[in-house]
Amino acid sequence: MKFDLVILRGCESETDVQTDYKNLITHSFGNVPFRSVYTGIKHDGILDYKLIKLKILSEFKFNKYNRKKSILKRSEFAKYIVQVIYYLKEIEIRGEQIPNVIFIADEIACTIFHSDLISDYLDYKLDWTIEPSKAFSKNSELCNEIFKNNDINPKILEVEKIELKEIIDNIKNTSERLDG
């Protein structure tokens, strides 16, 4: 089935983007819901699917269909990665299991990768008290380093060019490849 672009084209906010992706993914994993498993951490949701050792940390954005603000643009992608690193650090500080899959999406594109790709950044000496959504603006050096780091180069899937199955297969393969 083609990715339901009608849904995403109707998005008018980050909440719409979040709801639409979560519904599509949740349905594909047997209606296992995304939920907030870490009290006090303001992430966009975790899907914990124990049957295949899958725990997805998700981050959703809405950019008013502006391709220059989408994750398609490397500088924007780096900002979102900094935010995700801060979420992972909050989870680590609490002594919880780090999600193994990262899913970042907006109404134009999405990316799926294993958290090991960015886990080394959790050892950096940073001010970890910064709110994750503001971390990129207070860590320009980290943002620049991620921007230049060619090892952090996951495939970006443009929603107009993919099928929902490709997203789901990427999620499953990412989880199984490194955790199986």
pLDDT bracket for residue 3 (50, 70, 90)? very low
Hey, what domains does the chain have and what are their CATH numbers? 5-179 (3.90.1570)
pLDDT score at 102: 92
pLDDT at 2 > cutoff 50:
no
pLDDT score at 19: 82
Task: Give the Cα separation of 90 and 127 in Å (integer).
Answer: 12
What value does the mean pLDDT take over residues 59-78? 86
pLDDT at 4 > cutoff 90:
no
pLDDT score at 46: 63
CA dihedral of 128, 130, 135, 139, whole degrees rounded to 10 = -70
Tens digit of each residue's pLDDT (9 = 90 or more) over 30-59: 766 666 555 555 655 565 666 667 788 888
pLDDT score at 134: 94
pTM of the model: 0.84
Tens digit of each residue's pLDDT (9 = 90 or more) over 98-156: 888 899 988 888 999 999 999 999 999 999 999 999 999 999 999 999 999 999 988 88
Task: Give the Cα separation of 155 and 77 in Å (integer).
Answer: 12
Tens digit of each residue's pLDDT (9 = 90 or more) over 83-101: 999 999 998 998 888 888 8
pLDDT score at 48: 65
Helix residue ranges per DSSP H, 14-139: 14-28, 74-93, 135-138
pLDDT bracket for residue 67 (50, 70, 90)? confident
Q: What is the DSSP code (8-state) at residue 154?
A: P
138 versus 27: which is more confidently predicted?
138
pLDDT bracket for residue 82 (50, 70, 90)? very high
**Residue 167 near residue 110 (C-beta atoms within 8 A):** yes
**Residue 41 near residue 87 (C-beta atoms within 8 A):** yes
pLDDT at 6 > cutoff 80:
no
